[in-house]
Amino acid sequence: MQYSEIMVRYGELSTKGKNRQSFIGRLNGNVAKALHEFPGLTIRPKRDRLHIELNGEDADAVMARLSQVFGIQSFSPSLAVEKDMTKVHEQVLALMNETVPEGSSYKVNTRRSDHEFELDTNAMNLDVGDFLSDARPDLVVKMKDPDFILRVEVRREAIFLSTTTIKGAGGLPVGTAGKAMLMLSGGIDSPVAGYYALKRGVEIEMVHFFSPPYTSDNALAKAKELTAKLAPYVGGIKFIQVPFTEVQEEVKAKVPEGYLMTVQRRMMLRLTEAIAQQRDGLAIFNGESVGQVASQTLESMAAINDVTTMPIIRPVATMDKNEIIAVAEDIDTYDLSIMPFEDCCTIFAPPAPKTRPKTDRARYYETKIDVDGLMARALEGIKITEIKASDQFMNQATDLIAELL
């Protein structure tokens, strides 16, 4: 069946009052970015719906991309028919035959924006229902909770038919909630936190600490690849790599073992805050989950959080590991996350970190290191790259392999 358009229903933004126009504008931009590889499309944002005219592009491929765009409640592939009831009947039958199996229940649901059309809403429902009871006697009409709803939209340009409604990604259009930094390690949790940030409309930039030669190029490539996994939700994500070797060596040399981890994390958070301030970020997201590891007890969080007043948002704070893994699998970051490369959180991990560090102790030990100098040098060494959905970092030999297989 060659559909003529995808009709997109907005998510929460229909309730957002005055901001509506900017929300729709942002969603329109995000949809256009997500669908950039289909040049034939025409996207028409309207007050309550967004219409994507396919002009011959493949509906399934377009919908697969669309399902990753936040701010969409649902969408329906639709068939445009000339405003002639004989043609409408013909297409209704073709559509029902293709999409509605024998013996299903259904109802007809008409919306009419063209009030000059000969049939009004009720008359249209009746006419189409009447036609179908003859053409598809196997179907049962059911008003409450039918298997299928045949939607008929009478618009000025044509009549649109659809039987399928696909759930969208929900959430808010990315960018409508402002910008924040995500501390991306390479583990399972931080990409999931990033996904939730994007879902609430936050534009995130990845902050990744790397410590060559203690961490390998693989670890860096893995973090970039994880970023590429989240990129389809936005189009592109900035990846900020922060050199952390000097900080870690200095902390290791000067701070007692029990506080190594706490002080390292305080330095990471300070650096992330500084980067956020430079780049107009309003908050910091991370993948901490209460009690999961020594650095994520409430005592640890308090001792680490002490260095900043910027909001720190922890989307997975109260989730169980299994729940986090389930989401990671859904967004296809899990297999990457479990690849065994040392990251900067594990290389200098003491055998017995304090699970209940004290804030004043952490502050005291920090006086032994040159916080300002270390930070200045780390910030100087920052490298920023823009990562797109199609970018590949882990699998450098892909083309050669495809050729050999």
Partner 1 sequence: MIYFDNSATTKALPEVLDTYRKVSEDFFANPSSLHALGGKADEMLQSARHQIADLIAAKPSEIFFTSGGTEGDNWIIKGTAMAKRQFGKHLITTSIEHPAVINSMKQLEKLGFDVTYLPVDSRGFIHVEDLKAAIRKDTILVSVMGVNNEIGSKQPIAEIGDLLEAYPNIHFHVDAVQAIGKGLMKALRHPRVDFITFSGHKFHAPRGTGFIYAKEGRLIDPLLTGGGQEHDWRSGTENTPAIAAMAKALRLLLSDEDKKVAQQQAVRERIYQHVSQFDNVTMFSQLSDDFAPHVLCFAIEGVRGETTVHAFETHDIYISTTSACSSKKGTESSTLAAMHVRQSIATSAIRVSLDEHNTVAEADAFNAAFDAIYADFQKLNPVNRKETVRAI
Stretch that binds partner 1, among 89-97, 206-214, 291-299, 393-401 (CB under 8 A): 393-401
Q: How far is the CB of 325 from partner 1 (least distance, A)?
A: 15
Q: Count of residues binding partner 1 (CB under 8 A)? A: 15
Would you give the DSSP letter of residue 296? G
Tell me whether residue 91 is annotated as binding: no
82 binds partner 1 (CB under 8 A): no
If the CB atoms of residues 278 and 398 are measured against partner 1, the closer one turns out to be 398
| Nearest to partner 1 of 369, 394 (CB atom) | 394
Q: Cβ neighbours of residue 349 under 8 Å, at least 6 residues apart? A: 260, 261
Prior bond of 213 cis (ω within 30°)? yes
Q: Which of residues 177-216 bind partner 1 (CB under 8 A)?
A: 216
| Cα-based distances in Å from 57 to 23, 41, 61, 376 | 26, 7, 8, 51
Shortest Å distance, C-beta 43 to partner 1: 33
Residue 321 CB neighbours (<10 A) = 12
Contacts of 257 (CB under 8 A, 6+ apart): 350, 351, 352
The alpha helices in 77-161, defined as continuous H runs, are 85-99, 121-135
Q: Is 235 annotated as a binding residue?
A: no
Q: Say if residue 405 is exposed, middle or buried (CB neighbours under 10 Å; 0-12, 13-18, 19+).
A: exposed
| Residue 265 annotated in ligand binding | yes
| Residue choice 218, 297, 308, 346 for contact with partner 1 (CB under 8 A) | 218
Contacts 24+ apart (CB under 8 A), 57-62: 59/2, 59/3, 59/6, 62/6, 62/35, 62/38
Which stretch in 187-195, 236-244, 273-281, 388-396 sits in contact with partner 1 by CB under 8 A? Answer: 388-396
CA distance 195 to 228: 12
Q: List the Cα angle 291/294/300 in 5-degree steps.
A: 80
Taking the least distance from each CB to partner 1, the nearer of 259 and 393 is 393
Query: Is residue 347 near partner 1 by the rule CB under 8 A?
Result: no
Minimum separation from the CB atom of position 404 to partner 1 (A): 5
Q: Which stretch binds partner 1 (CB under 8 A): 10-18, 76-84, 137-145, 395-403?
A: 395-403
Task: Please tell me whether 310 is known to bind a ligand.
Answer: no
Stretch that binds partner 1, among 92-100, 200-208, 296-304, 389-397 (CB under 8 A): 389-397
Query: Does residue 28 interact with partner 1 by CB under 8 A?
Result: no
Is 210 labelled as part of a ligand binding site?
A: no
For residue 395, state whether it binds partner 1 (rule: CB under 8 A). Answer: yes
Q: 130, 217, 329, 330: which one contacts partner 1 (CB under 8 A)? A: 217
User: Distance (Å, rounded) from C-alpha 261 to C-alpha 293?
Assistant: 11
Residue 144: helix, strand or coil by DSSP?
Answer: coil
Closest CA to 391 of 223, 198, 205, 224: 224
| Among the residue ranges 38-46, 103-111, 369-377, 390-398, the one whose residues contact partner 1 (CB under 8 A) | 390-398
DSSP 172: B
**Residue 43: Cβ-neighbour burial (10 angstroms; 0-12, 13-18, 19+):** middle
Question: 287: annotated binding-site residue?
Answer: yes
**C-alpha to C-alpha distances, 89 to 21, 122, 137, nearest whole angstrom:** 37, 16, 15
State the Cα–Cα distance between residues 5 and 162, nearest whole angstrom: 10
Q: Which is nearer to partner 1, 107 or 222 (CB)?
A: 222
Rounded Cα–Cα distance for residues 283 and 310 (Å): 6
For partner 1, the closer of residues 143 and 405 by Cβ is: 405
Q: Among 101, 166, 396, 399, which residue sits at the site for partner 1 (rule: CB under 8 A)?
A: 396
Shortest distance, position 399 Cβ to partner 1, whole Å: 11
Query: Is residue 394 close enough to count as binding partner 1 by CB under 8 A?
Result: yes
Minimum separation from the CB atom of position 61 to partner 1 (A):
18
For partner 1, the closer of residues 56 and 212 by Cβ is: 212
Smallest distance, Å, CB 212 to partner 1? 14
Specify binding-site residues for ATP: 183-184, 208-209, 265, 287, 296
| Binding-site residue positions | 183-184, 208-209, 265, 287, 296
Q: Which residues sit at the interface with partner 1, rule CB under 8 A?
A: 216-218, 340-341, 394-398, 400-402, 404-405
